[in-house]
């Protein structure tokens, strides 16, 4: 039996906060206590450190064809980077292309992950085409552990679904216990604005943001809420960026509707002003929804603190500046949408949230691990520190300062949106199902050791 004893750390879950020990046996947590005496066991001294449940990032795009290229991290580089940052589970997105079955899409993404993932992974299914046979197949996916579906209200002709199909998908999840994740932006309005901007000769990266108004996000968010309300099912809005959209979620929750939403670090730490950086540098931040004007981020922090937002994911969708973002050098609409962030989420959130007094330690754990686990059918296997749970643990140094830089991060991208930013709080030792995968800045895991997460329906 493989055993590990983590001694004397400050154990934090969404509800606990005590100095104690955690005993790990065969990949699971065997016991927690204030002074466990165990013989013949490898001991990790966690004094002066926090012991946290492993981070869960429910929004990543590894090895994903998009915007005329493929995201730069595959399941190996992406999950290794995640582990360095203190994330021990991800949920990535498989894509069903038009005419394809969901099973084929799921199997294609399984093949991308198998033999490569260094931490555990699950999949949401992006549905781009919903004939009756595919609608029926949604039940099969839910039974087989792919219990959530992403639908797009933008990117017409590529990923976007019409409202009727969205409504049918929502109704179906009411029966099969799945969850709909919504990309909420009014795609048709955006397409008109993009065509007009290009016709006027506006080609620079900043026009990506100027053609995707916050109101287009708020309108789609409200429409999604209404569709889910009429279908009488819960809803999860992904990568919420604008306070105008947050108002719609808060209003729905105040009415008692099961509306959930995540935001991402880029919307908490960056702003429209980044698009004004010289030359083509603004392309680093081309993502959808775009960064919003300064001031917006405080509304999102408040939303996190008040539980109008339930999770912080990364939407890690990395493209190198060289050879990838460059595709849009003369036309902002050809810049592949997305940015890296899988490794920096926990440190950024800890620094901006806990150290800046915006989030309690418990709330930090809740939005980075526990809530995502609950919403997506992983709790209590993941997302907490309790006997029987997977031993996904992070020994976290709350006082260590780190300067974020592409030169030292482990993702396979030639930039980070946070270059030079100093953050306080960093993962020191990362344990995945009882195995030390990162210690003292060294990766000790193995590509392919990550397991597929068959998730429970609602
Ligand atoms: O710009 C983004 N967000 N790229 C990834 C695809 C998506 O919509 O999540
Ligand atoms: Zn999206
Ligand atoms: Zn995404």
- Give me the pLDDT at residue 321, please: 98
Question: Does 61 contact ligand 1 (Cβ within 6 A)?
Answer: yes
Number of helices followed by number of strands (H, E) in the chain: 13, 19
Ligand 1 pocket member 287 (CB < 6 A)? yes
Token pair in block for residue 165: 């199909």
What distance in Å separates the CA atoms of residue 83 and residue 80, rounded to the nearest whole number?
5
Residues in the chain: 458
Tell me if 288 CB under 6 Å of ligand 1.
yes
* 3-state secondary structure at position 3: strand
Confidence at residue 125, expressed as pLDDT on a 0 to 100 scale:
98
| Cβ atoms of residues 236 and 179 within 8 Å | yes
Ligand 2 center from residue 287 Cα (angstroms): 9
- pLDDT for the residue numbered 202: 98
255 close to 206: Cβ distance less than 8 angstroms: no
Contact yes or no for 352/305 (Cβ under 8 A): no
318 CA to centre of ligand 3 in angstroms: 10
Q: Look at residue 409 in the predicted model and tell me its pLDDT.
A: 98
Residues 15-67 have pLDDT tens digits of: 999 999 999 999 999 999 999 999 999 999 999 999 999 999 999 999 999 99
* 3-state class (DSSP) for residue 263: strand
171-175, long-range: CB < 8 A, 24+ apart? 171/231, 171/233, 172/135, 172/138, 172/139, 173/138, 173/142, 173/149, 173/231, 173/233, 174/231, 174/232, 174/233, 175/139
pLDDT of residue 231: 98
- Evaluate: CB of 96 within 6 angstroms of ligand 1: no
Distance 155 CA to ligand 2 centre (A): 10
DSSP 274: G
* Segments in 211-295 forming alpha helices (H): 214-231, 243-254, 265-269
Using CA positions, which residue lies closest to atom 5 of ligand 1? 338
pLDDT tens across 220-261, in order? 999 999 999 999 999 999 999 999 999 999 999 999 999 999
pLDDT in tens, the chain (458 residues): 689 999 999 999 999 999 999 999 999 999 999 999 999 999 999 999 999 999 999 999 999 999 999 999 999 999 999 999 999 999 999 999 999 999 999 999 999 999 999 999 999 999 999 999 999 999 999 999 999 999 999 999 999 999 999 999 999 999 999 999 999 999 999 999 999 999 999 999 999 999 999 999 999 999 999 999 999 999 999 999 999 999 999 999 999 999 999 999 999 999 999 999 999 999 999 999 999 999 999 999 999 999 999 999 999 999 999 999 999 999 999 999 999 999 999 999 999 999 999 999 999 999 999 999 999 999 999 999 999 999 999 999 999 999 999 999 999 999 999 999 999 999 999 999 999 999 999 999 999 999 999 999 99
* Nearest alpha carbon, ligand 1 atom 8: 288
* 3-class DSSP state of 5: strand
Tokens representing 68 are 């005329």
Confirm or reject: Cβ of 185 under 6 Å from ligand 1: no
Give the mutation target among 127, 338, 339 for probing the ligand 1 site: most ligand atoms within 8 A of CB.
338
For residue 79, what pLDDT is reported? Answer: 99
Q: Are 14 and 1 in contact (CB under 8 A)?
A: no
pLDDT value at position 74? 98
How far are the Cα atoms of 66, 249, 289, 302 from residue 243, in angstroms, in the given order? 27, 10, 12, 10
**411-420 pLDDT tens trace:** 999 999 999 9
Q: Three-state DSSP class for 142?
A: helix
SS3 300: helix
Q: Does residue 337 have its Cβ closer than 6 Å to ligand 1? A: yes
CA atoms within 13 A on the CB side of 419: 12
Record the tokens describing residue 87, joined without a space. Answer: 């994330």
CA 155 to ligand 1: nearest atom: 8
């Amino acid at each position: 039996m493989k055993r590990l004893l983590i001694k004397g750390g400050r154990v934090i879950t969404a509800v606990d906060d005590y100095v104690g020990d955690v005993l790990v046996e065969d990949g699971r947590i065997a016991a927690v206590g204030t002074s466990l005496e165990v013989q013949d066991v490898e001991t990790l001294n966690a004094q002066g450190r926090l012991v946290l449940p492993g981070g869960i990032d429910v929004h990543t795009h590894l090895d994903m064809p998009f915007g005329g290229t493929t995201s730069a991290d595959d399941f190996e580089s992406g999950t290794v980077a995640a582990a360095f940052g203190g994330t021990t589970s991800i949920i990535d997105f498989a894509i069903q292309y038009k005419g394809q079955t969901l099973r084929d899409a799921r199997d294609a993404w399984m093949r991308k992950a198998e033999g490569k993932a260094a931490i555990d992974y699950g999949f949401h299914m992006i549905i781009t085409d919903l004939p009756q046979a595919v609608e029926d197949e949604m039940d099969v996916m839910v039974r087989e552990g792919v219990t959530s579906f992403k639908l797009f209200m933008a990117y017409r002709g590529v990923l976007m679904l019409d409202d009727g199909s969205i409504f049918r998908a929502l109704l179906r999840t009411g029966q099969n216990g799945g969850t709909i994740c919504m990309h909420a932006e009014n795609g048709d309005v955006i397409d008109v604005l993009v065509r007009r901007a290009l016709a006027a000769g506006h080609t620079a990266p900043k026009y990506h943001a100027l053609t995707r108004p916050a109101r287009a996000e708020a309108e789609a968010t409200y429409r999604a809420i209404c569709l889910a309300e009429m279908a009488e099912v819960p809803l999860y809005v992904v990568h919420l960026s604008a306070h105008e959209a947050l108002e719609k979620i808060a209003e729905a929750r105040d009415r008692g509707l099961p509306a959930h939403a995540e935001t991402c670090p880029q919307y908490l730490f960056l702003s429209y002003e980044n698009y004004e950086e010289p030359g083509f540098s603004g392309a680093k931040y081309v993502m959808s929804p775009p960064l919003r004007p300064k001031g917006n981020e405080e509304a999102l922090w408040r939303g996190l603190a008040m539980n109008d937002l339930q999770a912080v994911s990364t939407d890690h969708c990395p493209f190198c500046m060289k050879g990838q973002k460059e595709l849009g050098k003369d036309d902002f609409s050809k810049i592949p949408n997305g940015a890296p962030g899988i490794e920096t989420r926990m440190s950024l959130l800890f620094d901006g949230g806990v150290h800046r007094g915006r989030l309690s330690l418990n709330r930090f754990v809740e939005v980075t691990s526990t809530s995502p686990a609950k919403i997506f059918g992983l709790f209590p296997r993941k997302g907490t520190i309790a006997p029987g749970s997977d031993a996904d643990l992070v020994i976290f140094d709350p006082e260590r300062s780190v300067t974020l830089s592409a030169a030292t991060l482990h993702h396979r991208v030639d930039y980070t949106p946070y270059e030079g930013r100093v953050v306080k709080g960093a993962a020191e030792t990362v344990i995945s199902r009882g195995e030390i995968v990162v210690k003292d800045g060294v990766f000790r895991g193995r590509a392919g050791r990550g397991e597929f997460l068959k998730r429970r329906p609602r």
